[in-house]
Amino acid sequence: MDKYDVIVVGAGAAGMMAAGRAAEMGAKVLLIEKMNQPGRKLRITGKGRCNLTNVAPMREFMEQVGDNWRFLKHAFNTFFSNELIEFFQTKKVDITVERGGRAFPTSELAGDIFTALIRWVERNKVDIRKEVKVEKLLIEDNIINGVEVYGGHTYYADKVIVATGGMSYPATGSTGDGYKLATDAGHTIINVRPALVPLETAGDIAPQLQGLSLKNVKVNVWLDGKKLGEAFGEMMFTHFGLTGPIILTLSRRFSQEIYDKKPLIFAIDLKPALDDQKLDARLLRDLNEHGKMKFQSVLRLLLPGKLVDIAADLLKISQDKLCNQISSEERKRIRLWLKDFRFTITGSRSFAEAIITSGGVDVKEVDPKTMQSKLVHGLYFAGEVMDLDANTGGYNLQIAFSTAWLAGESCAKTS
Ligand SMILES: Cc1cc2nc3c(=O)[nH]c(=O)nc-3n(C[C@H](O)[C@H](O)[C@H](O)COP(=O)(O)OP(=O)(O)OC[C@H]3O[C@@H](n4cnc5c(N)ncnc54)[C@H](O)[C@@H]3O)c2cc1C
């Protein structure tokens, strides 16, 4: 009989860490991966450079995590960014901390993180099965005793850690299988939705601006006349809408509203450093200084070239009008538009383009001190399969590694 102390389902960042930790502590561990290689997503993280964590102090780190940040306190107190960095350093992977506290392997190769992790897993004699898909959890009287894989074969263990990830980038193997496994075990799944994902907009303005990148702008988010939030930084236009760092951040923060098809307005403030008064003074000065020139020349001073035609169209002011003929009402219109260039969000791109999945196994049904299910004895969860998410910056991998370390350790302690 194939009997283990611990079975880990899914060999992503979380699965490898959980399996390695449980085995390091003496447990006999089976790690099952449905793809032909483990860690496919890990190897493409951070554009191939792997932003493995962020060295922000815990309080600041938590500000980057979604609503369920409290759930992570114990996992982070057990194994946080400093422990993770040390973990890789002791495996001869040098780590460099970049702008914004983002930590990367100094080699800039995500493959080095993967290799260090899988070698550690192998050194600890974890039994790894590839191209094997777990289809069912074997549960009797709310106690787990193993898993059934595609083809009907069963593996037995008193502890099973589900680390199947979310649904984003499904080509890497993360296709949401864990949600079914968890549902069958009686768990609640908080609705899963793409996050850290580009957004689609109504109308044809964004497509016309395709390729244009805006730095140091502010995006204000509105719904039914109420401001819901804002983000400051860089964004880009695409053939379908908006993308770039601040758009991805907002896509996560408002993933529920976007998923519910609420008509969110993203209003770009193109001059966030100038308040209304200062911007008006600047416009007045520019228009006066260029009085005998066409309005177009002032627009070129204020905006990237690609925006000039669109701005003039939206403002309904001819580009050929002389600056000294621009009325104060028109100047007001220009000022208001510069601070409120609006796009209606119609939805997000699909999971195939989403960096993470929001939603997942309800953490209210998981013990934060062990990662064990509160419903099924011996069932544990680790990583993105749970309703945990965060902004870009290394936070998501740290969540995967921390919850996995704790799950692996908890399983081994009670084996
Ligand atoms: C392009 C991209 C770049 C990213 N870059 C970063 C970054 O730089 N920093 C950062 O912090 N985060 C990044 N992320 C997010 C981060 O990769 C994820 O949050 C993290 O990988 C989640 O780890 P996980 O182990 O929970 O899930 P996954 O990494 O998704 O692993 C789940 C594993 O389970 C396997 N599996 C699924 N179902 C079954 C089954 N039924 N049977 C057996 N095996 C199964 C899958 O094949 C997969 O190998 C990025 C994500 C993407 C898509």
pLDDT in tens, 361-389: 999 999 999 999 999 999 999 999 999 99
Is residue 50 located within the same domain as residue 150?
Answer: yes
Instruction: State the distance from the centre of ligand 1 to the C-alpha of 210, rounded, in angstroms.
Output: 30
The verdict on 162 and 124 lying in the same domain is: yes
Distance 384 CA to ligand 1 centre (A): 7
> For ligand 1, what atom is nearest to the CA of residue 398?
11
Domain count, the chain: 3
**50 touches ligand 1 (CB under 6 Å):** yes
Do 127 and 245 fall within a single domain?
no
What's the CA-to-centroid distance between 41 and ligand 1, angstroms?
Answer: 5
Q: Are residues 246 and 368 in the same domain?
A: no
In this structure, are strands 341-348 and 154-162 parallel, antiparallel, or unpaired? Answer: unpaired
Using the predicted structure, report yes or no on whether residue 225 has a pLDDT greater than 80: yes
Average pLDDT over residues 218-231: 97
Residue 178 domain boundaries: 3-193+356-413
Looking at the fold, whether 222 and 88 belong to one and the same domain comes out as: no
CB 397 within 8 Å of CB 61: no
φ, ψ (nearest 5 deg) of residue 381:
-130, 150
The fraction of the chain above a pLDDT of 90, given in percent, is 98
| pLDDT exceeds 80 at position 116 | yes
Do 41 and 173 fall within a single domain?
A: yes
Query: Residue of the nearest CA to atom 4 in ligand 1?
Result: 45
Strand, helix or coil at 127? strand
27-50 pLDDT per residue, tens? 999 999 999 999 999 999 999 999
Same domain, 80 and 161: yes
User: Is residue 16 lining ligand 1, measured as CB closer than 6 Å?
Assistant: no
pTM for the predicted model, two decimal places: 0.95
- What residue type is assigned to position 241 of the chain? G
pLDDT for res 2: 81
**Residues 371, 329: Cα–Cα separation, whole Å:** 61
Domain-ending residue, one of 297, 326, 348: 348
- Same domain for 267 and 282, yes or no, is no
User: Do 33 and 108 sit in the same domain of this protein?
Assistant: yes
Q: What average pLDDT does range 76-96 have in this prediction?
A: 98
- Asked if residue 218 and residue 185 are part of one domain, the reply reads no
> Is there a single domain that holds both residue 14 and residue 122?
yes
Q: For ligand 1, what atom is nearest to the CA of residue 41?
A: 29
Block residue for tokens 């938590």: 62
